[in-house]
Amino acid sequence: MSSDFPVSPQFRSPPSWAEILGRAPARSAELRISAAAGARILVTGAGGFIGSAIVRAFAASGAEQIVLLDICEQHLFEVNAALAAQGSADCCTPILGGVCDRTLLDALFAEHRPQIILHAAALKHVPLMEQNPLAAVATNTLGTAILAEAAESHGAGQMILVSTDKAVAPHSIMGASKRIAEQIMLAPSGLRKTAVRLVNVIGSPCSVAPLFAEQIAHGGPVTVTHPAASRYFLTLEEVTALLAEAIDADATGLLIPTPEVTGDPILIADLARRMIARSGRDVPIVFTQPRPGEKRDESLVAPAEIIGEPASPSLTRVKSPVAAGLPTHLQALESALTARDHAEVLRLGQRLVADYQPSELLRGSVGEPLAVRS
């Protein structure tokens, strides 16, 4: 998958996302993951932006078998076809399904016995998830719990969760759902569990940079929520390398990229200006308002967390609290999801994520004030 953004005829040359960020070009040598050699691997969300990239790295690293799990038929077809085209069809097993399907997961683990699980399946679009909060919690939180239970019960060795900086002091249900997923990974168990908290991956579908590229191609305007809004950005190649490093380091707990990797936050307006400049067109920028669940700035570490020792050259450990009574709350959360009880799902989200601030949209949907029951 190319990291170049869609180029209209008006663009003078097809720049890469690395160029837009002012980063060094992507490595020419194919990424290798030492732990993958000869291993049986499960990748959830295998057809997604990150999932498909890490799958190619696993295949290039000599994995014995890669189980490709994805709930989207088109994505699963595309990643399986791409792997077949590069000669990796024999080691890949495509399975259409989701991480909330306990029966499917039990059968999958029993038959294929994966040793490494890379959990990239998630619902990630913040404003869309504010309108579909039950789906966000079901996939991002409950799906992580069900997958971890299956992995542990079948004796898997290592599970790695792809998390997000939106889990830090979340204003969105997506961020809160991923923060609870991180706690699931931090809770003691017989499975080696790692959560890698990443930042925005530039060029990922439905994210800001492809939207800007499309707006520029159509003559604008380019819409930015706030003049001071900023984000950390990494390229797909950088993210894949970080996940490979986490797998090979075999470190448990919560990991974040070092400041040397992420660099400083970039103003969204500056990103728009860079892309407009590369287009050679005179395209206006219009400032709008943050959408429900969106934050002006993002961070990789919450106030209640403590930065720990390095886990690898590019990743640092973070000591992060786990809510008391997590297993009981997860059972209650599953019941609330089954009953489609929006208010109870949000109450439980607040209990499990003390610094979660539900958006006005979600508070209004259940009636204010949204009190947390004791």
**pLDDT tens for residues 358-372?**
999 998 888 755 544
From the candidates 166, 178, 193, 295, give the one annotated as an active-site residue: 166
- Residue 136 falls within a domain, yes or no? yes
Residue with tokens 């799902």: 345
Catalytic, 295? Answer no
Distance CA(100)–CA(269), nearest Å, equals 38
- 36 located within any domain: yes
**Spatial distance between the Cα atoms of 353 and 140, rounded to a whole number of angstroms:** 14
Nearby residues of 111 by Cβ (< 8 Å), 6 or more positions away: none
pLDDT tens figures, 151-188 = 999 999 999 999 999 999 999 999 999 999 999 999 99
Q: Which ranges of the chain does DSSP label H, i.e. alpha helix?
A: 17-21, 49-60, 73-85, 102-112, 126-131, 133-136, 143-153, 173-186, 208-217, 236-249, 259-262, 268-279, 326-338, 342-352, 360-366
Q: Are strands 116-119 and 40-44 parallel, antiparallel or unpaired?
A: parallel
CA separation for the pair 15, 3 (Å, rounded): 9
Confidence check: pLDDT of 288 > 80: yes
More confident position, 280 or 112: 112
pLDDT of residue 220: 92
In a domain, 338, yes or no: yes
Q: State residue 369's pLDDT score.
A: 53
pLDDT tens digit sequence for 323-359: 999 999 999 999 999 999 999 999 999 999 999 989 9
Q: What is the pTM of this model?
A: 0.92
Q: Which residues contact 289 (CB under 8 A, 6 or more apart)?
A: 225, 226
In contact, 254 and 187? CB cutoff 8 Å: no
Please give the average per-residue pLDDT across 215-244, as a whole number: 95
CATH of the domain at 37: 3.40.50.720
- Whether the pLDDT of residue 10 is over 90: the answer is no
Q: Is the pLDDT of residue 50 over 80?
A: yes
Which is it for strands 253-257 and 266-267: parallel, antiparallel or unpaired? unpaired
> What would the two tokens of residue 179 be?
């923060």
Asked whether residue 214 is domain-assigned, the answer is: no
Give pLDDT tens digits for 76-134. 999 999 999 989 999 999 999 999 999 999 999 999 999 999 999 999 999 999 999 99
The C-alpha atoms of residue 70 and residue 150 are separated, in whole angstroms, by 17
Q: Which of 16-25, 113-122, 234-243, 266-275 has the lowest mean pLDDT?
A: 16-25
Owning domain of residue 239: 32-200+234-258+307-360
- State how many domains the chain has: 1
What is the rounded distance in angstroms from the CA atom of residue 62 to the CA atom of residue 291?
44
Instruction: Flag whether 120 is in a domain.
Output: yes
Handedness of CA 365, 297, 16, 75 (dihedral sign): negative
Question: What is the reported pLDDT for 367?
Answer: 74
Computed on alpha carbons and rounded to an integer, the radius of gyration of the chain in Å comes to: 20
Residues 6+ apart with CB under 8 A from 323: 183, 329, 351, 352, 353, 354
- Residue 95 within a domain: yes
Question: What average pLDDT does range 202-210 have in this prediction?
Answer: 90
The answer to whether residue 121 sits within a structural domain is yes
For 53, the token pair is 């990239």
Of the pLDDT bands very low, low, confident and very high (cuts 50, 70, 90), residue 75 is very high
Please tell me the distance from the alpha carbon of residue 183 to that of residue 185, in angstroms, as a whole number.
Answer: 5
Q: Mapping DSSP to helix (H, G, I), strand (E, B) and coil, where does residue 217 land?
A: helix
pLDDT (0 to 100) of residue 342: 94
Phi, psi of 171 (to 5 degrees): -105, -5
For residue 366, being part of any structural domain is answered with: no
